[in-house]
Amino acid sequence: KNEVEQSPQNLTAQEGEFITINCSYSVGISALHWLQQHPGGGIVSLFMLSSGKKKHGRLIATINIQEKHSSLHITASHPRDSAVYICAVRKENTDKLIFGTGTRLQVFP
Amino acid sequence: DTGVSQDPRHKITKRGQNVTFRCDPISEHNRLYWYRQTLGQGPEFLTYFQNEAQLEKSRLLSDRFSAERPKGSFSTLEIQRTEQGDSAMYLCASSLGLVLETQYFGPGTRLLVL
């Protein structure tokens, strides 16, 4: 079993829909990252969380440390949000990241 | 553009050949990470440096792989005697090395071993 699990693996939405991507992990962590990867490979960091909730524009990320679960929400989705969204955790007492397999999001006009 | 650059962006090679990739991190970043990503999967940790010191290596990094960061600035990742299973995207990231901070990723080098 992977230490970081994401769901769903694939997600299709109509423009304007509210989107939720989930991430569960099974190890102790010091931080959780949400990353965005566009075709061609470039990865951009969206959020880093150690507790609570963060918001940036239409994106909201939450984390529940006790339940070892995080969610990424996109409000008013747009076709330019189409990308792979990856959850990654930084294990306690280490500096390396462990990644989920990603959620491929397609938003249609 | 995150400020992290990688070269080359694409590499096609024949099985058995050696390849070398370069990563230039953001200049003030003292941490540098290498990851590998195969199609449809998330990235996997390979190794990381604190300045010029290689602090951790994954078990994925076989004897055919070697990474260096000789002056604590740019880093190279060499794969000797490439195999078809080495075909992947090789990603580099850098950070300041603080406990809670973002890693900045380069665009990656896509390797295809024929």
In chain B, which residue's Cα lies nearest the Cα of A4? B42
pLDDT of residue B72: 86
Q: Phi/psi at A41 (nearest 5 deg)?
A: 110, -25
Can you give the pLDDT of all 114 residues of chain B as single tens digits? 889 999 999 999 999 999 999 999 999 899 999 999 998 899 999 999 999 999 989 987 889 999 999 988 999 999 999 999 999 999 999 998 776 778 999 999 999 999
**DSSP code, position B85:** G
**Subunit contact A101:B108, Cβ cutoff 8 A:** no
The pLDDT tens digits for A51-84 are 999 999 999 999 999 999 999 999 999 999 999 9
In chain B, which residue's Cα lies nearest the Cα of A29? B100
pLDDT of residue B99: 67
The pLDDT tens digits for B81-110 are 999 999 999 999 999 877 677 899 999 999
Chain A environment of B42 (Cβ under 8 Å)? 4, 86, 88, 99-102
The b/e string for B48-72 (b: 16+ C-beta within 10 A; e otherwise) is bbeeeebeeebeebeeebebebeee
Q: Nearest CA to B103 among A28, A97, A1? A: A97
- Does B110 lie at the interface with A, CB-CB under 8 angstroms? yes
